[in-house]
Amino acid sequence: MRKKATGRGLITEPRWTRMDLRITGESRRMVGYWRLRQEDLPNLPHPAEMVDPGWDPKVRRKISTYLKRPAFALTYVYAGYSPCRLCGLPNGCAERSDGVFVWPEGLAHYVDAHDVRLPDDFVEHALGTPWTRWWRRIWGT
């Protein structure tokens, strides 16, 4: 894990891990996968380590919208919901992908409800996609 300075101190940024898709054999970068306890998958962060209430609300809203975009492929659907690691609410049962990254369906909940700041690599990617550039051109945000 890397420590990154923010407006409210240091937050932990996870090292990227990769997910190999079973069907296509392709590889995607993982974001938003969390551990439950320290002894569970220690290479994954806990979302509490990534809370940043000082994150620019406009950027947070754009990232949340990007994560929920319906055009993204569902890579897997599971038989039950994953609970939010911070509040315990049911939080999605599928994975989404934009072709480069893969994330749990409920990742936007962490961004919206708990101010979880996603790693800069993902944010830069999401803000730099043609869809996001189109949105900014139309809405000026």
pLDDT for res 71: 65
Low-confidence ranges of the chain (pLDDT < 70): 1-26, 38, 71, 73-76, 130-141
pLDDT for res 130: 66
- The string of DSSP codes covering 5-73 is EETTEEEEEPPP-EEE-TTT--EEEE-S---SSTTS-TTSPPGGGGB-TTS-HHHHHHHHHHHH-TTSE
pLDDT for res 22: 47
The domain locations on the chain are 2-139
pLDDT for res 76: 67
Output the pTM of the full model: 0.73
pLDDT for res 131: 59
pLDDT for res 78: 78
